[in-house]
Amino acid sequence: MDNEPDLLVVGGGPAGAITARCAAEKGADTLLIDKKEDPSRSSLCGGLVSVDTWQKLGSPESAFLGKINGAIIHTPDDTSYTLSATDPRAIVLDRNRLNQVLLHRAEEKGVRVKSGLNLIDLDGEGVQLKDLKTEKIFPAHPKFSVGADGPASDVRRLIGGDDPPGRLYAIQADARSDRFHEDLVEVYFGSDVAPGFFAWVIPTAADRARVGLATEEGSRLTEFLANLMDKVGPEDTWNERTGTIPIGVPGGSPREDVLLVGDAAGQVKPTTGGGLYPITFTAEIAGDAVAKGLNGLNNPNAYYREEWMRAVGRRLEKEILLHKVLGRLSDEDLNSILELLDEPKVAELLIERGDTDHLYSLAKDLLKTPSVLTSLLRALPTRLGWKLRQEIAG
């Protein structure tokens, strides 16, 4: 194996695969490693993306599972509201297949993908890699490195980078039931299933779905999932798995020659926990930054940080306020606020603008509706309500 690549990418998920491909397209000799034996095997992910994000990912037809036209919202007191459009608003993906497609596209551009390799050291002299099968350790000397290795990034830890300021704990299982809605997701709110966030049912076939939740209370995940399954009532469940979701944008990498992408960089939407939308911007920018560095750009990491924050990072920071608002609402508050879905103006706006990629702008428009703003301000502490008013005015 060539141990002096232009670029070493650590992590074979979508963030790493897109970064590697974009750098290779611009001439970078690129090596991508992943500790998993099968780099395409996905971590926990709902696999729900907007139609726009689906297109930005290159519309990989082999990863397509279905179209979503709307949602059923379940309140803590078990009232339900259905919001449905006539045209698709989201796409459900096979995440393993998506990973395979993105890695294959990278390899087509010359990226060398090596599985079963773990990064164990990264200093100014190079990196140390370990073959997890043979336990052999060997050096490599890339000109640049990219950490695309998830929420608990080894790259971020080894270079002394800041962790994202917040974290959600998630759990999900596959389930079967003839009561699932093939073209509607279901969203559950309440302290018994997902305190501070929400739970979901994402259909993957006529009678199958991914059922999961995220919360800050990681010690009670299995309890919350059991409560959720009681509400959903599946006939069978399997493939239960857990994961973490970073919330908030940390400081950038302290190294000029090391970039962080995806979950490793906190590039996740605080309102939904989704990371695929942000990386359709950030991973391409990272690949471009590396190529510019190889062609003489001073401190490509600073360029990368500035560009990705301009493209999507500032929107992610603004969504933190919405995340905090959701986290402060009691079940009673949620019941009261979600009753507003019965108002035609509110429902129509949500159906018309129901795009998970742009929830911040949707929320600002919703808050211009007096009944919505009044209900929220009544439920929130004074300081948080004041910040909400400032954001609306801005």
DSSP assignment string, 2-64:
-S--SEEEE--SHHHHHHHHHHHHTT--EEEEESSSSTT---S---EEEHHHHHHTT--GGGE
State mean pLDDT over 63-76.
Answer: 97
Q: List the one residue out of 173, 239, 244, 170 whose CA is nearest residue 202.
A: 173
Q: What CA–CA distance (Å, rounded) separates 23 from 110?
A: 10
Residue 138: left (phi > 0), alpha (psi -120 to 50), or beta?
beta
Q: List the one residue out of 27, 23, 29 whose CA is nearest residue 288.
A: 23
Query: Residue 176 — φ and ψ, nearest 5°?
Result: -125, 135
Domain residue limits, the chain: 7-43+95-162+250-316, 64-93+165-247, 321-393
Residue 394's pLDDT band, with cuts at 50, 70 and 90, is low
State mean pLDDT over 80-94.
Answer: 95
Question: Which tokens is 143 given?
Answer: 């000109």
Average pLDDT, the chain: 94
Q: What percent of the chain has pLDDT over 70?
A: 99
Question: Which tokens is 52 given?
Answer: 């726009």
pLDDT in the model for residue 261:
98
Q: List the one residue out of 176, 172, 183 whose CA is nearest residue 82.
A: 183
pLDDT of 123 over the 80 cut: yes
Question: In this predicted model, what pLDDT tens digit does every residue of 320-374 receive, in sequence order?
Answer: 999 999 999 999 999 999 999 999 999 998 988 877 888 888 888 888 888 998 9
Question: Which tokens is 357 given?
Answer: 């990629």
Q: At what angle do helices 359-366 and 344-353 cross, to 10 degrees?
A: 160
Beta-strand pair 208-215/199-205? antiparallel
pLDDT of 43 over the 80 cut: no
- The distance of Cα 370 from the centroid of its chain, to the nearest Å, equals 32
pLDDT of 147 over the 90 cut: yes
Question: In this predicted model, what pLDDT tens digit does every residue of 219-261 receive, in sequence order?
Answer: 999 999 999 999 999 999 999 999 999 999 999 899 999 999 9
72, 80 in Cβ contact below 8 A?
yes
Of the two residues 355 and 153, the one the predictor is more confident about is 153
Q: List the one residue out of 307, 318, 299 whose CA is nearest residue 361.
A: 318
Question: In this predicted model, what pLDDT tens digit does every residue of 156-173 receive, in sequence order?
Answer: 999 999 999 999 999 999
What is residue 163's DSSP assignment? P
pLDDT of 382 over the 70 cut: yes
pTM of the model: 0.95
Q: Which CATH number fits domain 64-93+165-247: 1.10.10.10, 3.40.50.300, 2.130.10.10, 3.30.9.10?
A: 3.30.9.10
State mean pLDDT over 4-20.
Answer: 97
Question: Which tokens is 346 given?
Answer: 């509110």
Residue corresponding to tokens 């990681």: 218
287, 144 in Cβ contact below 8 A?
no
Alpha carbon of 157 to those of 123, 152, 163, 174, 391: distances in Å?
A: 12, 8, 8, 32, 34
Query: Thinking of the domain 7-43+95-162+250-316, which architecture would CATH place it in?
Result: 3-Layer(bba) Sandwich (3.50)
DSSP string, 263-285: GGGT-S-TTT---HHHHHHHHHH
pLDDT in the model for residue 248:
96
Q: What CA–CA distance (Å, rounded) separates 158 from 110?
A: 28
Q: One fold for both 7-43+95-162+250-316 and 64-93+165-247?
A: no
Q: What CA–CA distance (Å, rounded) separates 362 from 165?
A: 25
pLDDT of 265 over the 80 cut: yes
